[in-house]
Amino acid sequence: MAKLFLGLDSSTQSLSAVVIDYDRRKVVYDKSLNFDHALPAYGTRNGVLPNPDPLIKHSPPLMWAEALDLLFAAMKKDGVALGDILAISGSGQQHGSVYFNDRAAAALASLDSGKSLVENLKGIFSRSTSPIWMDSSTAGECAEIREALGGLKATAQQTGSDTFERFTGPQIRKFYKTEPEAYARTAGIALVSSFMASLVAGKIAPIDYGDGAGMNLMDIQKQVWHGGALKAAAPDLERKLPPLADSSKIVGPVSSYFVGKYGLNPAARALVWSGDNPCSLVGLGLIQEGRVGISLGTSDTYFGPMKNCCTDDHGEGHVFGSPAGSYMSLICFKNGSLAREKIRDAYGIKDWKKFGDLMATKPPGNHGGILLPWFEAEIVPRVNQPGIHRFDLDEKDAAANCRAIVEAQMLSKRLHAQWMQVTPDCIYATGGASNDPALLRVMADVMNCRVLRIEISKSAALGAALLAAHGWLVEAGERPRWEEVVAGFTDPIPGSEVRPNPDAVRVYDRLIEKYAACERKALERSGA
């Protein structure tokens, strides 16, 4: 019998499933269900409920539950061998929270396969909507928790990150302050990941260390709930939270609901779920320190495994638990592909090949020209007022500006990743711009390490499927090495490797000092 494992990913806009045949090293099924299109009755736009306040971003948890029914029905219709699946794990959009009343545990334990999940779950929520990661309405609560924990640096050192509006602790505090009676009726609080895991397991599931670190409530060093952070967020909070656990932990057998309704294997194991970022770490094969991922999208993200926990004293970066053990670090740069597009369009460049050709006409280091492309308010470094800053760079020189924006983005990543104390020896580049050879050449030279392209469309769902396989093997008494678990599923594109040019590396080793000085000067000008 084939060893099949199912990974689910509950993201902002969709629910996805990936089924892997572990022995054949192959994805055998891949499907996504878009919430807006499949479940229009909930009235979401891009998975989010409209609200007159642009800072408030909520979604209905019942929509996610109904989507789970629809996705299992689709898998059954498509002929997926659900009876052969050995274990299920999953990924959830980080930071979002779900609020149960005291009826939830009993309802989960007695799910009736003759009814839908929505029918089974009606009446179990103390709050009908869930604040998600896009919500930015909790600035005041962030300040209160940060102050209680001793300031920005102390908060990051204790919880892995400074307080952020989207993080769950500030969201819980706002709920307690604005709806105290509803908070009092709340018997349990879940993350999106642990809520979906609870549906699959038919019982309240733990929160894993990876997703728990995105709450400002977990002691990042000890990986237990942080008493001071809980007290700063809301009263009686520890009683309302489930235990923390490793993402390889088996919650139990899958709920009989899915066995009776869809023919799922009754012996299949339900695992603890993690967040989308930790799951993507595994789904991209980033399981050993020194291997780094750079996602080149609307925003650029730099992330990778970290053996020893180091936190960012400036509060710009994040530390989460890694499902593969130890920690993962992550920094996000808001001015990613949209900033590159702004430069391209400003000079009337028609396509990215022409952009790359122009870049190549200028030498590494760009004769010392520096561009700080903060077209939007930036996260790293913290820049509240957008602004474009040029140093020794002619604004009229299209080729120089094309090279300058790419060099600036790579130098910024190198500079602002120093707090991690992890020197990359290999970078996996992913995202839309990762097929640009000129950009990858600059990346390899600035970072002084080889760069490989990797294309995995559903890295979070694949990571979840690999977590399911790992957890099942551990329970079966095996001692699987993560390198063996991900092998064949997360291989980079053959022939894509770019190796650094030693001459260019020396140029960037000098230029980064100038870049850092220019950044400091620009931040002083903007009052950041």
Instruction: Determine the average pLDDT of the residues in 311-317.
Output: 94
Span 37-51, pLDDT tens digits: 999 999 999 999 999
d(CA 374, CA 460): 29
Amino acid at 35: F
Residues 462-482 as b/e (b if ≥16 CB within 10 A, e otherwise) read bbbbbbbbbbbbeeeeeeeeb
**Count of helices and strands (H, E) across the chain:** 21, 23
Residue spans of the domains in the chain: they are 4-279, 285-455+498-528
Say which residues have a Cβ less than 8 Å from residue 114's Cβ, sequence separation at least 6: none
pLDDT in tens, 165-204: 999 999 999 999 999 999 999 999 999 999 999 999 999 9
CB under 8 Å to 238, separation ≥6 — which residues?
225, 227, 230
* Mean pLDDT of the chain, nearest integer: 96
Output the pLDDT for position 457.
82
Are 260 and 83 in contact, with CB atoms under 8 Å apart? no
**Would you tell me how many other CB atoms lie within 10 Å of the CB of residue 227?**
12
pLDDT of residue 527: 65
What CATH number should be reported for the domain whose range is 285-455+498-528?
3.30.420.40
> pLDDT grade, residue 384 (50/70/90)?
confident
pLDDT digits (tens, 9 = 90+) for 416-449: 999 999 999 999 999 888 989 999 999 999 999 9
Q: CA-to-CA distance for 87 and 273, rounded, in angstroms?
A: 12
Helix (H/G/I), strand (E/B), else coil: 151: coil
CATH architecture of the domain with range 4-279: 2-Layer Sandwich (3.30)
Q: Do 4-279 and 285-455+498-528 agree at the fold level?
A: yes
Distance of alpha carbon 502 from alpha carbon 288, whole angstroms:
25
Query: If you write DSSP's letter for every residue of 254-316 in order, what string do you get?
Result: PPHHHHHHH---TTPEEEPPEEHHHHHHHHTT--STTEEEEEESSSEEEEEEESS----TTS-
pLDDT at 435: 86
Amino acid at 401: N
Q: What's the rounded mean pLDDT across residues 3-7? A: 97
| pLDDT for 528 | 56
Average pLDDT over residues 331-340: 93
The CA-CA-CA angle for residues 384, 390, 393, to 5°, reads: 165
Tens digit of pLDDT for each residue in 223-232?
Answer: 999 999 999 9
Percent share of the chain, pLDDT over 90: 95
Q: What is the pLDDT of residues 282-310, one digit of tens each?
A: 999 999 999 999 999 888 999 999 999 99
Contact between 234 and 183 (Cβ < 8 Å): yes
Torsion-angle region of residue 169: left (phi > 0), alpha (psi -120 to 50) or beta? Answer: alpha
pTM over 0.85: yes
Q: 48 pairs with which residues across the strands?
A: 45
